Amino acid sequence: MDAGCSGADGRKSISAAEARRIILGRVQPLAGWERVAIRAALGRILAEDVVAPCNVPAHDNSAMDGYAVRADDLQADGDVTLQVVGTALAGRGFSGLVGPGQAVRIMTGGVMPAGADTIVVQEVARRDGTAIVVPPGIRRGQNVRRAGEDLAVGAVALPRGKLVGPAELGLVASLGLAEVSVHRRLRVAFFSTGDELASIGRPLAPGEVYDSNRYTLYGALAKLGCDIVDMGVVPDQPETLETAFRNAAACADVVLTTGGVSVGEADFIRALMQRLGEVSFWKIDIKPGRPMAFGRIGETWMFGLPGNPVAVLVTYYQFVVDALLKIAGLDPLPERPLTRVICSEAIRKLANRREFLRGRLFEEAGEWKVRPAGKQGSGILRSMSEANCFIVLDENQGDVAAGDAVHVQLFDGLV
Ligand code: AMP
Ligand code: MG
C-alpha cells in the first residue's frame, strides 16, 4: 500500500516523522519529584536547576607546577632573578606575602599566595640555589586558575531536565552538594498478548512460542531506569484484555503491549484502546512495525506495539523511548544523528515507507562501511543482537546498490 493510503477503517497510515511529531507533541513531563542523595541521582533527571552555592574553584590557584611570581617584577627583554621564599602545595598554602623580587614554589592546585599574580612553569624557570632565573616572555596571569572560573557562585551549574551521568555527579560533588532534586521515576506497565505464547520454564506445546517480548521490554525499560510493572501474558480474549488494560492504566504512567494490534481476527488491542480511551493513530508507513497504536486511557499513555520481536525493538527505539524520556522530564531530548556510510551489499527496498534494517558497521581499509546484519525477517531477533546500528532507508529511497551511501543510526546512545 502507498504512504498515506486509507486503512480498512478509513483512517490513514502516517509517516514515521509524523508519528514522532504526534507522539512527542502530545506527551508532557510528569510533575512529581523527590530529593535523593548524590549517588542515587545517577541515571535520574534533574527536576530543578542545580545552582552553585560557592565559586568553583573556590580560590585562585596554580594550573601548573612552578613558581608564583609578581608580573611587575618580570622584564620584557631580559632575565630576572627572584628569591624563592616558600612553598605552596595543594591544600597547604603559603601564608606570607610575596614581596618585590620574590617567588614562591607552587604545585598544581596550590592557592595563589598573596602578592603573586602569575605562574612561571618549572620547565621555564632556571633554579639557581635559593633563587630562580625567569626568562622574558611570560604573560601576566599566565597559568592561574581564577576563583569561580568553572562556576561563579549563583550560576546554574546544571539545568533542570538534564540526565545525571558521571560528569554531572562529579560536578554536583564539586559544589559540595550532598543531594539533588530529580523527577520521580516513570512507572511503565507492560504485557504480551497472544494465545500462542508460552512462559519460559516449561516445554512448548505444538504451535506455541516462548514469550520473548516481555524480556526485551524489561531490558529496555530497566536500562532507562523506569519502575517496571510486568503484567505477564494475556490471551487474545477481549474480556481478559480489557481487564488487563484497566489494571495497567490504573497503576502506570505508560502502558506498553505487544501483539494483537494489526487487523487479524484475534487482534483486539486497537479496538479496546479506542473503546476505553482514544487512539491517535495505529498504522505507520514503516518496516518492520507497520501496525503500532498510540493513544491513551485516562491519564495513561498507551503504546500498542506489534508482536514480532524485531518490530517491538524498532518501534520502541523509534517511537517509544523518546516519549518515555520526555514524560520522565528529559529536556531537551537527545539528538538522534544519522550518519551516511557506504553500504557494502545491495538491499531491496520498496518506496513510500521507511525501513529500518539491522546493520553492522565495520572497518575496511580505513573506511567505515555497513552491511545488513544477518537475516532481516521481523521475527529474527538475532539480527538485532548481531547489529550495532539501524540502516535507515527513507520513504523516497528505492533499491540500494552495493557501494551506495545509506543512512545509519548507531545503537550506542539510542539508550
Ligand atoms: P501479532 O502482532 O500478535 O500478530 O504477532 C505477530 C508475530 O509475533 C506472531 O508470529 C507472534 O507469534 C509473534 N509474537 C507475538 N508476541 C510475541 C511475544 N511476546 N514473544 C515472541 N513472539 C511473539
Ligand atoms: Mg497475536
- The average pLDDT across 132-157 equals 96
**Placement of cell 564539586 in the chain:** 174
What's the number of CA atoms in the CB half-sphere (13 Å) around residue 412?
4
In this model, does residue 304 exceed pLDDT 70? yes
pLDDT at position 265: 78
Tens digit of each residue's pLDDT (9 = 90 or more) over 122-133: 999 999 999 999
Give the distance (Å) from ligand 2 centre to CA of residue 197.
9
Tens digit of each residue's pLDDT (9 = 90 or more) over 75-110: 999 999 999 999 999 999 999 999 999 999 999 999
Phi, psi at residue 245, to the nearest 5°? -60, -45
- What percentage of the chain reaches a pLDDT higher than 70? 97
Handedness of CA 310, 28, 248, 276 (dihedral sign): negative
In this model, does residue 10 exceed pLDDT 60? no
CA-262 nearest atom, ligand 1: 2
Give the distance (Å) from ligand 2 centre to CA of residue 46.
39
Asked if 36 contacts 173 with a C-beta cutoff of 8 angstroms, the reply is no
Choice between 4 and 305, residue whose per-residue pLDDT is larger: 305
Q: How many angstroms separate the CA atoms of 193 and 174, rounded?
A: 49
Tens digit of each residue's pLDDT (9 = 90 or more) over 170-204: 999 999 999 999 999 999 999 999 999 999 999 99
Asked if 194 contacts 236 with a C-beta cutoff of 8 angstroms, the reply is yes
Give the distance (Å) from ligand 2 centre to CA of residue 267.
6
Tell me the pLDDT of the chain averaged across its residues.
94
If you take atom 6 of ligand 1, which residue's CA is the nearest one?
307
Could you tell me if the CB of 216 is within 6 A of ligand 1?
Answer: no
**Domains contained in the chain, CATH given:** 16-32+184-328 (3.40.980.10), 36-53+158-183 (3.90.105.10), 61-145 (2.170.190.11), 339-410 (2.40.340.10)
Could you tell me if the CB of 344 is within 6 A of ligand 1?
Answer: no
Helices 269-276, 238-251: inter-axial angle, 10-degree rounding: 50
Neighbour count for residue 359 (Cβ, 10 Å): 30
Could you tell me if the CB of 196 is within 6 A of ligand 1?
Answer: yes
Q: How many angstroms separate the CA atoms of 183 and 94, rounded?
A: 45
pLDDT at position 11: 64
pLDDT at position 262: 85
In this model, does residue 402 exceed pLDDT 90? yes
Asked if 148 contacts 188 with a C-beta cutoff of 8 angstroms, the reply is no
pLDDT at position 1: 35
* Residue 142 pLDDT level (bands cut at 50, 70, 90): very high
Asked if 393 contacts 355 with a C-beta cutoff of 8 angstroms, the reply is yes
Could you tell me if the CB of 236 is within 6 A of ligand 1?
Answer: no
In this model, does residue 7 exceed pLDDT 50? no
In this model, does residue 293 exceed pLDDT 80? yes
C-alpha cell at 271: 479496538
* Residue 266 pLDDT level (bands cut at 50, 70, 90): confident
Tens digit of each residue's pLDDT (9 = 90 or more) over 236-258: 999 999 999 999 999 999 999 99
If you take atom 20 of ligand 1, which residue's CA is the nearest one?
211
- What percentage of the chain reaches a pLDDT higher than 90? 93
For a ligand 1 pocket test, name from 190, 193, 195, 197 the mutation site with the most ligand atoms within 8 angstroms of its C-beta: 197
Tens digit of each residue's pLDDT (9 = 90 or more) over 26-80: 999 999 999 999 999 999 999 999 999 999 999 999 999 999 999 999 999 999 9
**Closest ligand, as measured to the CA of 315:** 1
* Residue 267 pLDDT level (bands cut at 50, 70, 90): confident
Q: How many angstroms separate the CA atoms of 313 and 266, rounded?
A: 22
Could you tell me if the CB of 258 is within 6 A of ligand 1?
Answer: yes
CA-291 nearest atom, ligand 1: 2
Give the distance (Å) from ligand 1 centre to CA of residue 329.
32
Could you tell me if the CB of 309 is within 6 A of ligand 1?
Answer: yes
Q: How many angstroms separate the CA atoms of 308 and 213, rounded?
A: 8
pLDDT at position 12: 79
Amino acid letter, residue 331: D
Could you tell me if the CB of 211 is within 6 A of ligand 1?
Answer: yes
**Closest ligand, as measured to the CA of 236:** 2
Give the distance (Å) from ligand 1 centre to CA of residue 18.
26
Residues with CB under 5 A from ligand 2 (ion): 194, 259-260, 307
In this model, does residue 415 exceed pLDDT 80? no
pLDDT at position 216: 97
Out of 137-151, 254-268, 334-348, least confident range: 254-268
Give the distance (Å) from ligand 1 centre to CA of residue 10.
25
Give the distance (Å) from ligand 2 centre to CA of residue 196.
8
Amino acid letter, residue 254: V
Rounded to 5°, angle at Cα 311 from 161 and 356:
80
Tell me if the bond preceding 57 is cis, omega within 30° of 0. yes
Phi, psi at residue 159, to the nearest 5°? -85, 155
Q: According to the 3-state scheme, what is the secondary structure of the chain?
A: CCCCCECCCCCECECHHHHHHHHHHHCCCCCCEEEEEHHHHCCCEECCCEECCCCECCCCEECCCEEEECHHHCCCCCCEEEEEEEEEECCECCCCECCCCEEEEECCCCECCECCCEEEECCCCEEECCEEEECCCCCCCCCEECCCCCECCCCEEECCCCECCHHHHHHHHHCCCCEEEEECCCEEEEEEECCCEECCCCCCCCCCEECCHHHHHHHHHHHHCCEEEEEEEECCCHHHHHHHHHHHHHHCCEEEEECCCCCCCCCCHHHHHHHHCEEEEEEECEECCCEEEEEEECCEEEEEECCCHHHHHHHHHHHHHHHHHHHCCCCCCCCCCCEEEEECCCECCCCCCEEEEEEEEEEECCEEEEEECCCCCCCCCHHHHHCCEEEEECCCCCCECCCCEEEEEECCCCC
pLDDT at position 412: 83
pLDDT at position 4: 43
Asked if 51 contacts 113 with a C-beta cutoff of 8 angstroms, the reply is no
CA-311 nearest atom, ligand 1: 8
Could you tell me if the CB of 377 is within 6 A of ligand 1?
Answer: no
If you take atom 15 of ligand 1, which residue's CA is the nearest one?
307
**Closest listed residue to residue 271, CA positions, set 244, 242, 308:** 242
pLDDT at position 379: 86
Choice between 217 and 2, residue whose per-residue pLDDT is larger: 217
